């Protein structure tokens, strides 16, 4: 009678322990990207999505063989998921060695929590590297006078794209003023085509509209006041006017039906433009490259048009002002080992923006933040677009960083939430301003 008892019990015990054993070994194996095998090499998290994913992978693949002691391992994440995941990872002290970001308020949070290294000294030691970049890109990387990130990749202004075929069919010209936009909305709705594509569920896509509108109406001073946390800064009449105008656009069916359930991550919004379901799209310049890849020769056949954001009658903002991401930024986790940091810095210096990489970005329709590339741009098949973007970067009297990156994460989340509701017409522009006022200084 005893035998079955013991064997059953010991079987249960064994069965109970096995998953733990397996888990324990797998846990050891992945005790965090930060704590790799003690040698050199750095881990990096980057965004998935073409064409940049391939470009970055190629950069890493070119760097690694020549630098076997400093191998870089990349893990790819989707944009929206990345923004949450990286914060959790940093909070858990399991951040990758190289932290990708957009500078501004997010970077400030990391810097003030001592989670990223101060790179000012390193830049001083490498003046050539510093001189390589557009001078304007260091602003978003600087916190309290110190540089905490390497500016990287390309400048990404927001551009108004349009489908040339649809415009030809409708017999209209791309918009130059806000009134043009409103009349185009009617034209295209009558034609049965959505005037504007929008990935509203991502919310920062809707934010782009407000960024430009506010700048055109009230000039950059309005957001500067907000950024500095001046009391009541959101109640500026320009903000209210911006909210009103955007709701007019929504009410006029300016955006594609169902926009609030389309995400930008899936690139469905871009697909709507190049498949002819929408006539225009306000989006980041990086979508040019993405559409080039996925659009089945839409771009290559010259069907993609682009213009600056229109002016608003009576507005104070300079029409040459730009809005978007001045660059992308790479920081080094302060919790990484010294060897890992060295590997990362080596990659920063020698791997991340080599000539090959620069060419790759130019080929995919992006303008790298590197000085002296005018000739290269002119030789590209996309030179029209590239020069357009480059001109914007060079000549813009003011370039406003994306609001959700400039502000602190707390304020940014409230902002995105309120923008969502503004576009859904669940709150008035007045309420929007009041809600945002409550986040000043947070």
Partner 1 sequence: MSNAVSTAPRAAVRPASSKPTEQRKTALAWLTLPALFFFLVFAVVPLAGVLILSFASWDGIGAIGAAGLDNWFSVLADPGLYNALGLTFLIMIVSWLVQTPISLLLGVFTAGSQRYRAALAVLYFLPLLLSSAAVAIAFKALLDPNFGLATGLGLPFLAQDWLGVPQLALGLVIFVIAWQFVPFHTLIYQGGVRQIPKSLYEAAQIDGAGTIKQFFHITLPQLKYTIITSSTLMVVGSLTYFDLIFVLTGGGPGNSTRILALDMYLRGFRANLMGPASVIAVILVIIGLALALFLQRLGGKDKQGSQLEGL
Partner 2 sequence: MVGYSAAPNRGLGTRLRRLNIPGGLGGWLWLAIIILPVYYVVITSLKTQAGYFGQNPLALPTSPTLENYQMVLEADFATYFINSAIVTLGSVIPTVLVSFMASFAIVRGAGRFLKLVNGMFLMGLAIPLQATIIPIYLMIIRLNLYDSLLALMLPSIAFAIPLTVLILSNFIRDVPNELFESMRLDGCSEWQTMWRLALPLTRPAIVTVAIYNGLHVWNGFLLPLVLTQSPSLRVLPLGLWTFQGEFSVNIPAVLASVVLSTLPILVLYVIGRRQLLAGLTAGFSK
Residues near partner 2 (CB under 8 A) are 1, 5, 8-9, 12, 15-16, 18-20, 22-24, 26-27, 30-33, 48-49, 75, 78, 80-81, 85, 88-89, 91-94, 263, 265-268, 271
* Count of residues touching partner 1 (by CB under 8 A): 30
Helices (H), 171-309: 178-191, 204-218, 220-227, 237-251, 268-274, 286-294
Taking Cα atoms as reference points, which of 69, 105, 39 lies closest to residue 336? 39
Which CB, 194 or 222, lies closer to partner 2?
A: 194
What torsion do the CA atoms of 295, 182, 320, 149 make, to the nearest 10 degrees?
-50
Which among 3-11, 25-33, 48-56, 111-119 is the span making contact with partner 1, rule CB under 8 A?
Answer: 111-119
409 near partner 1, rule: CB under 8 A = yes
Q: Residue 12's binding partner, choosing from partner 2, partner 1, none, with beta-carbon cut-off 5 to 8 A by kind? A: partner 2
CA 358/CA 307 separation, integer angstroms: 24
Taking Cα atoms as reference points, which of 279, 286, 283, 298 lies closest to residue 180? 279
Which CB, 55 or 418, lies closer to partner 2?
A: 55
Name the pairing type of β-strands 154-163 and 278-284: antiparallel
Q: Residue 145's binding partner, choosing from partner 1, partner 2, none, with beta-carbon cut-off 5 to 8 A by kind? A: none
113 near partner 1, rule: CB under 8 A = yes
Peptide bond into 51 cis (omega under 30): yes
390 near partner 1, rule: CB under 8 A = no
How many CA atoms lie within 13 Å of 100's alpha carbon, on the beta-carbon side?
21
The one-character DSSP state at 135 is G
- 13-22: long-range contacts, CB 8 A cutoff, minimum separation 24: none
Count the neighbouring beta carbons within 10 Å of the beta carbon of residue 127. 9
439 touches 404 (CB < 8 A):
no
Quick check: helix, strand or coil at residue 161? strand
Which CB, 52 or 201, lies closer to partner 1?
A: 201
319 near partner 1, rule: CB under 8 A = no
What residues contact residue 245 under an 8 Å CB cut-off, 6+ apart?
178, 213, 217, 312
- Interface pick for partner 1 out of 109, 176, 354, 363 (rule CB under 8 A): 109
Q: According to CB under 8 A, which residues from 170 to 229 bind partner 1?
A: 200-201
CA 54/CA 84 separation, integer angstroms: 23
Q: According to CB under 8 A, which residues from 238 to 257 bind partner 1?
A: 257
Q: Residue 410's binding partner, choosing from partner 2, partner 1, none, with beta-carbon cut-off 5 to 8 A by kind? A: partner 1
Question: CA–CA distance from 148 to each of 37, 89, 108, 313 (Å)?
Answer: 26, 18, 9, 40
User: Interhelix angle for 409-423 vs 204-218, to 10°?
Assistant: 90
CA 217/CA 231 separation, integer angstroms: 20
- Interface pick for partner 1 out of 46, 100, 102, 110 (rule CB under 8 A): 110
Q: Residue 144's binding partner, choosing from partner 1, partner 2, none, with beta-carbon cut-off 5 to 8 A by kind? A: none
CB of 399 to partner 1, least distance (A): 26
144 near partner 1, rule: CB under 8 A = no
- Interface pick for partner 1 out of 275, 410, 430, 441 (rule CB under 8 A): 410
Beta-strand ranges (E) seen in 1-153 are 42-47, 72-77, 98-101, 142-143, 146-147, 150-152
CB of 400 to partner 1, least distance (A): 22
91 near partner 1, rule: CB under 8 A = yes
- Interface pick for partner 1 out of 43, 55, 97, 115 (rule CB under 8 A): 115
CB of 295 to partner 2, least distance (A): 12
Which CB, 52 or 267, lies closer to partner 2?
A: 267
Taking Cα atoms as reference points, which of 323, 321, 316 lies closest to residue 237? 316
CB of 435 to partner 2, least distance (A): 25
- Interface pick for partner 1 out of 87, 130, 146, 394 (rule CB under 8 A): 87
Q: Residue 177's binding partner, choosing from partner 1, partner 2, none, with beta-carbon cut-off 5 to 8 A by kind? A: none
Name the pairing type of β-strands 72-77 and 42-47: parallel
- Interface pick for partner 1 out of 114, 173, 232, 378 (rule CB under 8 A): 114
Residues that bind partner 1 (CB under 8 A): 83-84, 87-88, 90-91, 109-110, 112-115, 200-201, 257-261, 408-410, 412-414, 417, 420-421, 424, 426
């Amino acid at each position: 009678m005893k035998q079955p008892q013991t064997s059953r019990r010991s079987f249960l015990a064994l069965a109970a322990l096995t998953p733990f054993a397996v888990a324990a070994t797998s846990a050891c194996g992945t005790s965090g990207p930060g704590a790799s095998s003690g040698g050199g090499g750095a881990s990096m998290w980057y965004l998935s999505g073409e064409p940049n994913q391939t470009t970055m992978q190629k950069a890493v693949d070119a760097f690694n063989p020549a630098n076997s002691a400093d191998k870089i391992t990349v893990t790819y994440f989707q944009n929206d998921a990345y923004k949450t995941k990286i914060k959790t990872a940093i909070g858990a002290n399991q951040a990758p060695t190289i932290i990708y970001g957009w500078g501004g308020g997010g970077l400030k949070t990391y810097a003030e929590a001592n989670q990223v290294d101060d790179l000012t000294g390193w830049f001083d030691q490498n003046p050539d590297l510093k001189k390589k970049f557009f001078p304007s890109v260091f602003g978003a990387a600087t916190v309290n006078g110190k540089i905490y990130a390497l500016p990287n990749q390309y400048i990404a202004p927001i551009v108004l794209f349009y489908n040339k075929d649809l415009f030809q069919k409708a017999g209209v010209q791309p918009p130059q003023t806000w009134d043009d936009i409103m009349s185009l909305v009617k034209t295209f709705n009558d034609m049965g085509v959505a005037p504007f594509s929008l990935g509203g569920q991502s919310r920062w896509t809707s934010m782009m509209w407000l960024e430009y509108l506010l700048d055109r109406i009230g000039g950059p001073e309005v957001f500067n006041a907000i950024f500095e946390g001046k009391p009541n800064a959101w109640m500026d009449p320009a903000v209210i006017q911006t909210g009103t105008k955007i709701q007019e656009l929504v009410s006029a069916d300016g955006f594609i039906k169902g926009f609030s359930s389309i995400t930008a991550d899936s690139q469905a919004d871009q697909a709507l433009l190049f498949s002819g379901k929408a006539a225009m799209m306000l989006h980041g310049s990086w979508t040019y490259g993405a559409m080039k890849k996925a659009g089945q020769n839409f771009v290559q056949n010259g069907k993609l048009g682009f213009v600056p954001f229109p002016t608003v009658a009576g507005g104070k903002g300079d029409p040459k002002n730009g809005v978007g991401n001045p660059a992308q930024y790479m920081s080094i986790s302060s919790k990484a080992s010294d060897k890992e940091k060295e590997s990362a810095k080596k990659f920063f210096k020698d791997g991340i923006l080599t000539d090959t990489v620069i060419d790759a970005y130019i080929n995919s329709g992006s303008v790298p933040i590197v000085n002296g590339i005018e000739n290269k741009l002119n030789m590209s098949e996309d030179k029209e677009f590239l020069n357009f973007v480059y001109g914007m970067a060079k000549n813009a009297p003011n370039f406003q960083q994306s609001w959700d990156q400039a502000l602190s994460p707390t304020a940014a989340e409230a902002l995105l939430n309120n923008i969502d509701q503004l576009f859904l017409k669940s709150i008035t522009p007045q309420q929007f301003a009041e809600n945002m006022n409550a986040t000043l200084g947070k």
